[in-house]
């Protein structure tokens, strides 16, 4: 006979771990207890040594589906003669720290109850259990229990309470559990927000959407706008009312079988679609595709997700399985609406009717977007279903650290020990609403994870809202600051994801990032580790005539690159009025409002504008994205020429020969698709060639690919392939986005390591 104390770390709370342990101990007839303890799970069991071994191996081999065991340790204790196995209350009353799990899609057990006429929760749109349901989006404070969620105002009925208290029940300590007699209820409102009286709000709403109306639907982390994705009229209306010109809408379909009617779905993509995280998965459209082209104009991909709340499951069935556009409830570029009063105000005039309920959303959380690139998950936006699940760092944080990320794709990362808690996506911090959510949710996370921040990390850009927040808070609270260069953070983000500690070659390509010389960087080959880096090579500078305007009007970048290459602007004259061309030329000559940039994102814009004549875009990176679509999924055998010069400031890559060749191809009437395929091939060659040159001198063989340019799947795939052929170990993003949404992870790792080494 023996007693063992077992400590389990990882994602072990709010995922049904205690009932699982209870059931396992009961089956093996072991005595003792299990309890939550400051983010970990503590188990003490007593019995025969062989049975205890079985207990341990069963625990590690078949934990609950949503749990993730990162570390397990046990030690022997003196016997205490326990007679039964108990679930103890958690220690969380004294320690705030509880690992809050992400929101989890309706589990198969709950779905079965939802559809079972004999079940007391039949068709009840808010059912959930320990294995599924809302988590982050409803939490108001720590520790995670019902009074500190937006379910606080829904006292459990006797039947729900009995399940909640029963250790053998699937709803044991399921904080948001409820039923038709005690939980939230659906209501339907007209376009002005007046209640519509109906015995079945869901069917009423579904019928309207099915027959061409645009409906606003209160979801898990915010409002969605929904319409029939096969109705040209409805989709067109939605686009006009939302004032969203070309950005793609996502779809929600009943299941992966329906998704396969419109898109090609590989086994890996099917697994992602069906995963409990239920992200939007970018899938290749079938051709021809019965989905309205206006859903994702000109885009060879469709963003598709499956139902993830009971409301969605019921809705998709009530519309007879037709595919629905399911896009964030907002106008143009505003953040998604989540507060009821605000949503009604902002979506009036867009939605014909509303399907709402009385469970408030505390944390605004957009849908996550992801895709499979070369067989592996490659996130586009990490948010609902992922946040705030921790990412394990390769180093330990000596103090609690908050890294505040960038500007356009606001996210923050909090570090404690080896855990990085990354926030959900907070959007463009230029929007006051997004900024306010950033500040509020930052303090909520600090409370949830019981952190006392002793170090604030920010980008070097002085005008990022996140940088200013770090400064203000540092002043007010006397917390030390660490500034991190943008492209160094990108590189470190990919390193941290892969646990790399030795120096790497960081290929850091993006649209915009503040360089230490005041220029706009974005085509950088860095060599270094977390503590420091050297800028070994970069794209030669060209002007950005008009500054920010050059991002919205890619013809300006085309002009800058043509002038830089000694070419005339004749190619652009067909698309751009002469006075505008002349004004931009003068700006460059006088150096007025013309920041210098080494950005690869802007090079893509320029080549896209030259190859296609596209002059304006409605969102950043659109021209670059269209260039990728043109290539399809192959590159050509030929490469365009380019040059590299040794200078005192490192190697400088000269793109003038490339631009001259692209311009000549365009003049000679070459197909834009061929230009794009050859350009992609060139960029992959360029990456591989420069890395090989660097390796000759510095003997570093690990290459990380990071920055927004690597949202380009074709370039990522071909570049990784060429590097691998040359014997490099290539690392790319699988946990956080390559774009600025992943920046905070790199900032955090850099600060942690600098503090650890005493260089800050
Ligand atoms: Zn469930
Ligand atoms: Zn109830
Ligand atoms: Fe960036």
- Output the pLDDT for position 91: 59
- Output the pLDDT for position 96: 41
- Output the pLDDT for position 39: 65
Percent above pLDDT 70 for the chain: 98
Q: What average pLDDT score do residues 397-424 get?
A: 96
**Residues of the chain by 3-state class (helix, strand, coil), percent to 5:** 35, 25, 40
Distance 447 CA to ligand 2 centre (A): 29
For 574-614, how does the pLDDT look when each residue is reduced to its tens digit (9 = 90+)? 999 999 999 999 999 999 999 999 999 999 999 999 999 99
Distance 491 CA to ligand 1 centre (A): 39
Q: What average pLDDT score do residues 116-138 get?
A: 96
For 239-296, how does the pLDDT look when each residue is reduced to its tens digit (9 = 90+)? 999 987 788 999 999 999 999 999 999 999 999 999 999 999 999 999 888 898 899 9
Nearest ligand to the CA of 488 is 3
- Output the pLDDT for position 93: 45
Phi/psi for 495 (5° steps) reads: -60, -45
SS3 344: helix
Q: What DSSP state is assigned to residue 566?
A: T
Q: Which residues contact 150 (CB under 8 A, 6 or more apart)?
A: 138, 140, 359, 360, 361, 362
Q: Is residue 99 predicted with pLDDT exceeding 80?
A: no
Q: What average pLDDT score do residues 715-725 get?
A: 98
Where in the chain is CATH 3.90.870.40? 186-357
Q: What average pLDDT score do residues 171-180 get?
A: 93
Residue 167 pLDDT class (50, 70, 90 cuts)? confident
Residue 731 pLDDT class (50, 70, 90 cuts)? very high
For 349-405, how does the pLDDT look when each residue is reduced to its tens digit (9 = 90+)? 999 999 999 999 999 999 999 999 999 999 999 999 999 988 999 999 999 999 999
Q: What average pLDDT score do residues 177-190 get?
A: 97
Give the strand order in the sheet containing 31-37: 68-77, 2-11, 40-47, 31-37, 85-87
User: In the CATH hierarchy, which top-level class contains the domain 186-357?
Assistant: alpha beta
Distance 649 CA to ligand 1 centre (A): 59
Distance 467 CA to ligand 3 centre (A): 15
Distance 181 CA to ligand 2 centre (A): 5
Nearest ligand to the CA of 599 is 3
Calpha distance 428→674 (Å, rounded): 35
- Output the pLDDT for position 38: 63
- Output the pLDDT for position 95: 46
For 23-52, how does the pLDDT look when each residue is reduced to its tens digit (9 = 90+)? 999 999 999 999 877 667 899 999 999 999
Mean pLDDT of the chain: 94
For 610-632, how does the pLDDT look when each residue is reduced to its tens digit (9 = 90+)? 999 999 998 888 999 999 999 99
Q: Are β-strands 455-459 and 390-403 bridged in parallel, bridged antiparallel, or unpaired?
A: parallel
Where in the chain is CATH 3.30.70.100? 2-94
Distance 170 CA to ligand 2 centre (A): 14
Distance 309 CA to ligand 1 centre (A): 10
CATH of 2-94, one of 3.30.360.10, 3.30.70.100, 3.40.50.850, 3.90.1150.10: 3.30.70.100
Nearest ligand to the CA of 706 is 3
Distance 543 CA to ligand 1 centre (A): 56
> When comparing pLDDT for 208 and 165, which is higher?
208
Calpha distance 491→527 (Å, rounded): 9
The count of C-alpha atoms lying within 13 angstroms of the C-alpha of 669, restricted to the half-sphere facing its C-beta, is 0
Distance 121 CA to ligand 2 centre (A): 9
Residues that place a CB less than 5 A from ion ligand 3 = 510, 513, 740
Distance 159 CA to ligand 2 centre (A): 6
CATH 3.40.50.720 fits 100-184, yes or no: no
Percent above pLDDT 90 for the chain: 84
- Output the pLDDT for position 94: 44
Distance 256 CA to ligand 1 centre (A): 20
Q: Is residue 98 predicted with pLDDT exceeding 60?
A: no
Where in the chain is CATH 3.90.870.30? 100-184
For 677-707, how does the pLDDT look when each residue is reduced to its tens digit (9 = 90+)? 999 999 999 999 999 999 999 999 999 999 9
């Amino acid at each position: 006979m023996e007693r063992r104390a077992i400590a389990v770390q990882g994602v072990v709370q709010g995922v049904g771990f205690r009932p699982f342990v209870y059931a396992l101990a009961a089956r093996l007839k072991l005595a003792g207890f299990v309890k939550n303890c400051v983010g970990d799970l503590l188990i003490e069991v007593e019995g025969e040594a062989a049975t205890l071994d079985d207990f341990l191996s069963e625990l590690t081999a078949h934990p609950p589906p949503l749990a993730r065991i990162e570390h397990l340790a046990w030690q022997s204790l003196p016997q205490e003669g326990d007679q039964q196995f108990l679930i103890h209350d958690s220690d969380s009353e004294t320690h705030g720290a509880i690992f809050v799990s992400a929101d989890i899609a309706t589990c198969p057990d709950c779905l079965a109850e939802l559809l079972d006429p004999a079940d007391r929760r039949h068709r009840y749109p808010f059912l959930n259990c320990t294995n599924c349901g809302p988590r982050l989006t409803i939490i108001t404070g720590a520790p995670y229990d019902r009074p500190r969620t937006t379910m606080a105002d829904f006292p459990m009925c006797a039947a729900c309470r009995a399940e909640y208290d029963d250790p053998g029940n699937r709803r044991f300590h399921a904080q948001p559990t409820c039923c038709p007699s005690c939980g939230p209820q659906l209501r339907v409102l007209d376009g002005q927000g007046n209640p519509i009286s109906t015995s079945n709000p869901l069917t009423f709403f579904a019928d309207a959407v099915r027959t061409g109306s645009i409906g606003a639907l209160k979801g898990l982390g915010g409002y969605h706008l929904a319409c029939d994705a096969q109705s040209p009229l409805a989709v067109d209306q939605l686009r006009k009312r939302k004032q969203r010109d070309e950005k793609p809408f996502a779809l929600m379909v009943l299941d992966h079988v329906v998704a396969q009617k419109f898109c090609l779905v590989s086994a890996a993509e099917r697994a992602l679609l069906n995963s409990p995280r239920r992200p939007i998965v970018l899938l290749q459209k079938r051709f021809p595709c019965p989905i309205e082209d206006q859903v994702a104009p000109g885009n060879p991909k469709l963003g598709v997700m499956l139902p993830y709340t009971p409301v969605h499951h019921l809705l998709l069935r009530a519309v007879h399985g037709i595919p629905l556009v399911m896009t964030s409830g907002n106008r143009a570029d505003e953040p998604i609406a989540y507060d009821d009063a605000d949503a009604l105000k902002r979506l009036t005039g867009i939605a014909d009717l509303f399907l709402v309920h009385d469970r408030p959303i505390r944390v605004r959380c957009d849908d996550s977007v992801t895709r499979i690139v070369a067989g592996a998950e490659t996130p586009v936006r990490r948010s609902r279903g992922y946040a705030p699940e921790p990412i394990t760092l390769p180093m330990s944080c000596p103090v609690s650290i908050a890294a505040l990320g960038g500007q356009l794709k606001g996210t923050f990362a909090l570090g404690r020990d080896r855990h990085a808690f990354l926030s959900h996506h907070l959007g463009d911090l230029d929007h006051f609403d997004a900024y306010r959510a950033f500040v509020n949710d930052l303090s909520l996370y600090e409370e949830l994870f019981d952190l006392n921040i002793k170090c604030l990390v920010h980008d070097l850009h002085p005008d990022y809202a996140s940088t200013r927040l770090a400064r203000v808070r540092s002043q007010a609270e006397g917390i030390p600051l660490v500034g991190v260069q943008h492209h160094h953070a990108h590189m470190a983000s990919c390193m941290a994801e892969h646990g790399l500690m030795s120096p790497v070659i960081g290929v850091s390509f993006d649209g915009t990032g503040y360089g230490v010389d005041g220029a706009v960087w974005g085509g950088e080959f860095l060599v270094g580790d977390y503590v420091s880096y050297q800028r070994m090579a970069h794209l030669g500078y060209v002007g950005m005539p008009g500054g920010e305007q050059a991002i919205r009007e890619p013809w300006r970048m085309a002009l800058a690159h043509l002038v830089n290459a000694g070419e005339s602007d004749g190619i652009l004259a067909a698309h751009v009025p002469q006075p505008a061309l002349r004004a931009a030329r003068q700006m460059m000559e006088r150096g007025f409002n013309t920041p210098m940039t080494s950005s690869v994102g802007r090079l893509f814009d320029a080549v896209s504008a030259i190859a296609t004549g596209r002059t304006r875009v409605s969102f950043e990176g659109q021209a670059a994205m269209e260039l990728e679509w043109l290539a399809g999924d192959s590159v050509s055998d030929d490469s365009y020429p380019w040059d590299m010069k040794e200078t005192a400031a490192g190697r400088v890559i000269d793109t003038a020969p490339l631009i001259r060749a692209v311009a000549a191809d365009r003049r000679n009437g070459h197909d834009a698709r061929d230009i794009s395929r050859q350009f992609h091939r060139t960029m992959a060659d360029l990456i591989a060639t420069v890395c090989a040159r660097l390796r000759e001198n510095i003997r570093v063989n690990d290459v990380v690919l990071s920055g927004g340019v690597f949202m380009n799947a074709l370039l990522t795939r071909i570049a990784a392939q060429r590097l691998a052929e040359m014997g490099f170990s290539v690392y790319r993003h699988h946990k956080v986005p390559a774009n600025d949404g992943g920046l905070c992870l790199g900032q955090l790792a850099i600060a942690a390591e600098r503090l650890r080494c005493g260089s800050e």
